[in-house]
Chains A and B, each alone.
Chain A
């Protein structure tokens, strides 16, 4: 229970369904802030108190479990390392993968619980053979199956999402009010929970420092400078402050981040188009395809709020035996950054995912 309205209503529904429910708030920092600020929805003492008040209203016990060491190592340090390597991580996914449905789940199972229930908007369905599948929520506008795409069959076996069938967030808020939960009108959280003011670039600069480097075009010509390549994300347009205009006067976008050379590559929007993405860190959310090496039709989604795109996917294994999930979108994708997660869907079902290691541009350099 983060202290937000979703997990409070999820807990209420779990209680109402007759389960034996205990509220757990994750302590993710040893030095939490006191009061909620801006659009953060967790991690302060006020949020912890909100969660406890919700548990009180539901009449369930409530505990705070400290996962601050794991969170720092697996989410925060990973976030810094990924940016430092020129990649664009999704820390919420890492948290689901390594904390909520790993460290927390394992502790809960050992202590005698059967499942971890969260306020995520996603559904778990069971196929004819009894295998559990992860599906999009009924309300696509609120669907959070993307950030759960990292879960495996073992994790899904102990996951429970009571909000999966709710048509809208507004109904969840109304239900919270009806149940007397004080968090009914609490604002949604948007930002990364461990970056209090939402200033990712400033937060990173404090931790990895700044170093002036070149901004170059695809031909290698220097067109500007920056204070640290790690602050840039593929597809980014704002904040480049380029002194030299592009020959055609059109806006330029970040195409690539090269942390080793501390160089940022920019170019025209069409050069962002990606024809193929691949990643060696892939998982299946439940039963894998019968023959993953055989190309299969799917849809691929590369951000939490991006539209899915029709694609063909397959697992390709090289001579040395190392495998990667290769996804070819029907039409090229814009703004794909290494480090992002590509989640593969078949209909509403999440089939699996990979962390993107490499991309293939749809546009030759001299185009």
Chain B
């Protein structure tokens, strides 16, 4: 196979002229530059570390606005400017940027949350020995994530996909001296590899069927001929979804996300709530055209009939959302509650894609990034104030002691629950419910409403137990508000949690995905009640019910009453449906067996027979030959004469 690596710069040639979309390269390069500069040169200097890290991401954020107004708002199509990367056989891969309505919104989310989290970390990580390492990793993560957002083909996206997995590994295991953190990092990495394997197979399948990995060209090809993928079209969809399943922690690969909370809290906010886990949903939206191809299964899977890949995705998403919401109800660790809530909301988004509403999914992704980052940073502020106490039953009464954290946390909670009219969460959640009604999925609609009510329940429970009532431990009693660097990112994040409700973001995304084919819904505060009263009413009802149930159960409660009343079920929920234990019982023996076989082969065949064999033979021969070296001149002469005689004999 011929492999030619082309010099990227040289091939641009004289036709090159500067275009506004090339700003994308700067956005991509800034965090990478910051990360390399810190890791290689600046790790001893805290001020310079902060200057480069925060400066890089803020500059990227500002440049993202330029791109958003140039391409996102106007709907202008960016001219692709691909640098040929390599071509091997029939595979041509370019390094190109996809600058459009979808990626510019995502750019703003990633760089915006990144910038706030970095500001916040300056205070949160102040006393940590790995200060510079933390910021270098954070910048590197931002670079990888921006790479996913901006990739215009599957191969490039896969490369950044893996880089994101790697930087997530670095950051989860940031406190690697703690065994739990090191284990969680490994777990996250390995679980993600499982999903990525499917993703890679999907990419290979797409390429072998169409000979193309470029998003825009694939979309055009599929639009012209929806049967282009033949009998494999649904399998391709599911394989690509495998990647999303790993990154966005969908059932059955969801187990890594709650453990990832072992990382520092700002990392949980940035990576495991707002951006990286949203990469899976972003991938589904970016490659949504793949799922619009005709439903077809190869002969072995023909029994699935007319069930499409999207249906399966919707069920997995809805199932994950329900499962995680149930578990969240009986968790007591503040970060774990938020982690399961993140899982649940990701399931919501995946379900939205599955019912055919990528616009609703992206809308929810954007609003969720804001208020979930807010909630995590708020939780970080609480943990910081309570001297690293994470059990909500040992808090209580924090509302008076941490006024800024409390108020912003309540705003975040309202947004996550989807409090009507004032919060961004209400509109994006409503968009998902509307999508499931419109596309004829009444059961998933019911599921969505149920989950919305459970979301409200566990979030109100968290607020009541942690912030209201009386203090239940000395660390909660002596808590005081976090420094200003930690509180003002909370205030800034509270603004989009409310303010996004007033922006026509939903319509913007609908237009991006469906163009003029779908009539754009009317906006405005009461829009949802006018154009889809069913969804809006049910959504509001779910919130009121959830909030009422939580207040009735937990108001002034000294301990959780649910374990008594639910008994067995409470234990199941507290133990997260025993997934870790089941996986351990099912997969660990197989894995251990395989590892033992590999270990045996490595120890006895590889090092024993091959490596030690070669080394042993050489040494034995050496020892034998050493006997000949007597040091006696006449022995040498005798052997020499004998040798000459032998050669003469042979020659004659």
User: Real complex partners, A and B?
Assistant: no
**Which B residues are within 8 Å of any A CB, using their own CB?**
none
**Which A residues are within 8 Å of any B CB, using their own CB?**
none
